[in-house]
């Protein structure tokens, strides 16, 4: 077990460093090495490395970590190994909110007053979080009222809400401005091309806070795996804990979708692999998901940038292709 953790930590350090050598801009191994250990040899190299490539690699790692721990948390609180932010409706809700911000606020002539410049950067994440929170509330409401209150049925409610919010998003794209619509369509497929240094630091703070919260809640999440009645016997407020975890997952997913679009199935695949390697204990699961999720997303982004010359494949296409096969294999064992 100790060797596995050491190996995972080494890979988590090596993966971002190794991925820095891949990119559309031609930076030699020497240029990148100099930028890492000293000062870049030229202003152009410094701009490419520190303003574009380094933030993108770090954001890729954080995005993978955020989606992986969200999936692990959803699987624990629903006791369903197939739960995932994408299937649970959280990604569709965040995408719906972000689409409203992108399309309806793209033309400020329809607004009563212009949007203040200092507010604009926060519109997308605020709407994305609102949409994801709406999805969570809808799933909870449907599961508790229409499905007999059984927590095992929350995934079914999540799939239904996901389709409903996706339909509303497609309607917005249909009636929206063509130019803005094209941008949103590509964005919804998932991409790290829009990230910058400010977003990297913001995402780092949110992922760290949410990870610490979930690790502190680890023993309660472990009790929840025994069943609601057993958890209540151990002194756990089940409804309060479940709602808090769902809000944390909504926050993590929203900040990812707000800038990187819909990236599915990462939260389904990574927790399964981590459980097989390190066991089902929540604290080990969260730490393993942070590291393995980051490694996975960093190299998926490398494939997206390098697979087709002079073009970039949306990340969501790659993760969905891998995740759909993984989902079918997981269903066979469930």
CATH number where 163 lies: 1.10.3470.10
- Assigned domain for 37 exists: no
How many domains does the chain fold into?
A: 1
- Assigned domain for 25 exists: no
- Assigned domain for 85 exists: yes
- Average pLDDT of the residues in 196-216: 91
Q: What pTM was computed for the model? A: 0.88
- The pLDDT value recorded for residue 151 is 64
Cβ atoms of residues 90 and 135 within 8 Å: yes
**CB burial readout 245-268, b (16+ within 10 A) else e:** bbbbbbbbbbbbbbbbbbbbbbbb
- Assigned domain for 11 exists: no
- Assigned domain for 14 exists: no
- Average pLDDT of the residues in 51-63: 91
Torsion, Cα of 98, 161, 174, 249 (10° steps)? 20
Of 37-51, 114-128, 192-206, which one has max mean pLDDT?
Answer: 192-206
Whether 214 has a pLDDT exceeding 80, the answer reads: yes
- The pLDDT value recorded for residue 60 is 94
Q: Euclidean distance between the first and final Cα of the chain, in Å?
A: 25
- Average pLDDT of the residues in 320-326: 87
- Assigned domain for 46 exists: no
C-beta atoms surrounding 292 within 10 Å: 24
Residue 177: give the domain boundaries.
54-333
| Helix 238-260, helix 90-104: angle, nearest 10 | 40
- Average pLDDT of the residues in 7-29: 85
Helix, strand, coil shares, percent, the chain, to 5: 75, 0, 25
């Amino acid at each position: 077990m100790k060797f596995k953790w050491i190996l995972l930590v080494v890979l988590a350090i090596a993966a971002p460093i190794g991925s820095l050598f891949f990119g559309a801009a031609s930076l030699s191994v020497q240029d990148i090495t100099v930028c890492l250990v000293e000062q870049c040899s030229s202003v152009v190299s410094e701009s490419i490395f520190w303003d574009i490539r380094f933030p993108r690699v770090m954001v890729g790692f954080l995005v993978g970590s955020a989606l992986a721990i969200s999936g692990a948390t959803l699987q624990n609180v629903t006791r369903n190994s197939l739960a995932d932010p994408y299937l649970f409706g959280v990604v569709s809700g965040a995408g719906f909110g972000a689409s409203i911000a992108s399309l309806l606020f793209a033309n400020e002539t329809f607004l009563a007053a212009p949007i203040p410049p200092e507010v604009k950067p926060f519109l997308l994440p605020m709407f994305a979080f609102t949409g994801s929170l709406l999805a969570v509330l809808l799933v909870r409401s449907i599961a508790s009222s229409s499905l007999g209150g059984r927590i095992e049925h929350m995934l079914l409610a999540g799939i239904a809400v996901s389709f409903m919010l996706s339909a509303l998003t497609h309607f917005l794209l249909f009636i929206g401005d063509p130019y803005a619509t094209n941008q949103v369509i590509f964005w919804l497929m998932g991409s790290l091309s829009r990230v910058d240094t400010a977003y990297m630091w913001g995402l780092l703070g949110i992922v760290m806070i949410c990870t610490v919260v979930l690790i502190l809640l680890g023993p309660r999440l472990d009790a929840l795996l025994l069943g609601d009645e057993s958890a209540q016997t151990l002194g756990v407020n089940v409804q309060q804990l479940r709602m808090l975890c769902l809000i944390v997952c909504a926050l993590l997913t929203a900040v990812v979708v707000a800038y990187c679009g819909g990236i599915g199935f990462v939260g389904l695949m990574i927790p399964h692999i981590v459980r097989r390697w390190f066991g089902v204990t929540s604290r080990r699961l969260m730490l393993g998901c942070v590291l393995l999720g980051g490694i996975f997303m960093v190299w998926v982004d490398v494939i997206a940038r390098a697979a087709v010359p002079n073009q970039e494949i949306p990340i969501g296409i790659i993760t969905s292709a891998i995740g759909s096969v993984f989902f079918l294999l997981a269903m066979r064992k469930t």
